[in-house]
Structures are given as C-alpha cells and as structure tokens.
Amino acid sequence: MHSLKTRYSMNSHLCRTVGLSLVIGLGGLAAAAQDALTLRQAIHQALAGSPEAAIARANGMEAKAGATMARTALLPQLGFTEDISRGDDPVYAFGSRLRQRHFTQADFALNALNRPQPIGDFSTRLSGSWMAFDSFKTQREIRRADLFKDSASSSAKAADQQIVFRVVSAYQSVLYAQRAIDVAQHEQATAAALLNSVEDHVRAGLAVESDRMSAQVNVAGRKQELIEAQGDLELAWAELREAMGVADLKTSDLNPIEPRAFPQTSLEQDLALAVKLRPDFGALVNAQTAQLAAVSAAKSEFGPRVCAYGNWQEDRGSLTGSGGNNWVAGAQIAIDILPIGKRAQLARETASKQRIDAQLNAQQRQIRLQVSQAHIHRQTAALSIETARAAMDQSAESLRILKNRYGAGLATITDLLRAEDAERQSQTSYWRAVYGNAMAYAELLYATGTLTPDAAEELQ
C-alpha cells in the first residue's frame, strides 16, 4: 500500500512537472508570436525571397562558370571514337585492308583494285590536341573572365543594397504612419476635451453658441485626420509587404519610431568611402578592366598559334577480330595572313571599352552628386529635429496658456483653436523630422555603399 502511494505521488509530481513545462513552452511560443517585426527580420525576408537577388545570384554563378570554362583552354583536348563502316569504294576498301594489316598480293589485281568486294571496318580511335601557344590569348581570356566574375559579385551586392534601402524606406514609413495615428488620436482627444470645455462655458453663459459650433467643426476635422492617418498606415504596410515580398504579412504594432543621433562625417570622408565601397562602382571598374583584357585578347588573335596533336587508331575486320593499329603525332604552326574578321572583332572590343570608360566617368559624377545630396540632407535633417522639438514644446505651452485664458474669459475660441492647430502641426512636424532624419541617414549609407543589414540596425 505504501508502494502504491509512493508511485501515485511520483506520477502526480511528474504530471505537474510536464504540465508546467508545457504551459511555459506554450507561453514562450505565444510571446514569440507576438514579438514585433524587426527591421533586420524584414530585410532578411526580403533578401531571401527577392527576384532581383535571385537574378544577381544567378548572374554570379554564370560568371563563375565562365571563369572555369575559360581555364579549360589550357588543358589538352582528348577524344574517343568508335567507327563502324562498310562499303566497296575502291579507295576505302584499299585503305581499310591496309590499315587492318590484311593486305595480300591478290589485292593488287586490277579487277580487285577497280571493283573490290564490300569490306567492313571497325575502327577505334583516340585523338588529342593541345594549344601550346596562342600569343597569350587564353591567359587574357582567363583574366577577363575572372574580372567579370568579380563584377558580377559586386553587382549582386549592389542589388542587395537596393533591396535593403527599399525595405528600410517602407519600414520607416510604417513607423512614421504609426506615430501619425498616435498624434491624430491625441489631437482627437484634445479636440473632444476642448468641446466639453466650450459646452460648459456655453451652459454657464460665458460663451456663445458659435463657439460650440466651432469646437464641433474642430472635432470633425480631427476625426477626418485620424481616418486619413489610418489609411496612410494601411498604404505603408502594403508598401512594406511589396518590399519584403510577403503578400500575406499581417499588420502589427512595430516598436515606435524614436529620435536618434547618428554619426556625423565630412563630405570628403563620404566621397572617399563611396569610391572605395560602392558595389555598383566597383562592378563597373571590374568591367572596365575586363574589357581591357578583352581588347588585349582580340589583339592576340593576330599572333601565331602553335598546336600539338596526336592520334592512335586500331582497325579490325570484325568487332572481335584482330587488326592493325597506327599512330600519328605532330605540331602545327598557324598564322592568319588575311585577318579581316579579327580586325572587326578588335574594333568591336575597342568600342565596348570606350563605352565602359564613358559609363565609368558618368558614374563617378553621379556618385559625387548622390553623396553630396545625401550629406546635405543628413545635415539638414539633424538640425530640423532640434528646431521641431523646440517648436513642439513652445506650441504645447502656448496651448496650455490659452486654455487657461479661455477658461478665464480672456481669449476667444478662435485663439484657442488656432493654438490647438499650431500644437497639432508642431507634433506632426516633429515626427516627420524624426522620420526624415532616419531616412537621410539611410540615404547617406546607401550613397556611400555601406547600407548593409548590420548597418541598418542603427535605424531600428
């Protein structure tokens, strides 16, 4: 009996332990499910499912395969052939018997030479060749392929940064739209409180009916602004879904946008950083060097080529019969004495090089403009936050004073509504400045080529 009680107690304790573990586990899952979507999560989701990123990765794989294929020109070419034939062509019959080592005195008879009997030939052939020297054309083609591979890798990084910037922009738009709703709800509550205060004054004979109507119009205006803010939030979420590539992404409350102080840099530092780190600029630089190698390879086509070759062949009268074998080896020197097509190829490669040179020059100017614009936006946005914060504090104090004055009958409803409108606009301007500051910093990171998922963490 004591054993049964002990076993029952142990089982009960085990059940309670398991139950408690399940509750804790399910609670953890529920908490995880309620976690707000972070900017890093949004970026990783976009990079994983973006068609642009997939295209860039495919281009990189294609360029890598091209670099491997270019190196195969340095290797010898080997081939195997099994040829089965039958015929009574005089030359074919004569040569086949000779290669099979079955030639006899009777085969020299004129009738046998002119009208041979059909003969079969089973021929096994191994052949090989190797380009020993091609005026360094192969080495230059390899160099060109390697540079194109590096260019494709840089282009993939540029595509990733475009995706990151698009997600950051959409994510920040959602944060700003959430703040806009908070402001609209606060202003709606403020308008309702003003209406109650005015109604009290009207009932006490301290205000006229037109004051009540003005306050009611103000409440209606604040309701309309809240509806518009809610629509802007839905539109921002739609843009974020598109940027992430997740059509069924559910709306949720993200961590609110907050004012942040970002590092300050000089324009010269930003320009130097862009030239060094911009992946699109790096891709164009690699493409320019690759095209220079292509021009050199086209010039090599005019030089001599030295090729070594060899063949081994066995011929039999039947598949399993005996026969003879022979081999041939040699070297060949070739020079094109009328290279009209090669001149056209060189002209085309030279024109492509000139085009890339012009593109690189234009890209340098564009980068300088983009970095300068982003740098100015960054400075302006940082200063705007301080100004907007001061204006918001002043307008809030002004509204408080006018509320007291209106309550004492020393101010009109027009003065009060004007102060309330100024306070609302100052809050909107402040959060717009906070949003603009974050986007200006993201724009600067993108312009300098440093907008990575890790760098975007500063914007969260």
Is there a contact between 33 and 250 (Cβ–Cβ < 8 Å)?
no
Tokens encoding 307: 């090729």
| pLDDT recorded at residue 348 | 96
Helices (H), 128-256: 137-203, 209-244
- Quickly count helices (H) and strands (E) in the chain: 11, 4
Measured between its terminal Cα atoms, the distance across the chain in Å is 64
How confident is the model at residue 109, as a pLDDT?
Answer: 86
Quick one: tokens of 7?
């076993």
Amino acid 291: pLDDT: 96
Residue appearing with tokens 């509320």: 403
- The reported pLDDT for the residue numbered 64 is 95
Identify the CA nearest to 240 among candidates 73, 10, 36: 36
Q: What is the mean pLDDT of each run of 10 residues along the chain (460 residues)?
A: 39 41 41 68 92 92 95 94 93 90 84 88 95 94 96 94 95 94 90 86 82 89 92 95 91 87 92 94 96 96 95 90 90 94 96 96 96 95 92 91 84 85 91 94 95 85
Can you give the C-alpha Rg of the chain in angstroms? 41
Q: Determine contact, residues 88/116, Cβ cutoff 8 Å.
A: yes
How would you classify the pairing of strands 119-133 and 323-334? Answer: unpaired
Which candidate, 369, 380, 374, 370, places its Cα nearest to that of 432? 380
**What pLDDT does residue 289 have?**
96
Q: Which amino acid is located at 445 in the chain?
A: L
| Angle 459-250-183 from CA coordinates, rounded to 5° | 55
- Report pTM: 0.79
Q: List 119's β-bridge partners, or say none.
A: 87
Q: How many CA atoms lie within 13 A of 38 on its CB side?
A: 13
Which pLDDT score, from 0 to 100, does residue 19 have? Answer: 42
Q: How far apart are CA 225 and CA 148, in angstroms?
A: 54
d(CA 280, CA 444): 15
Write down the pLDDT at residue 7.
40
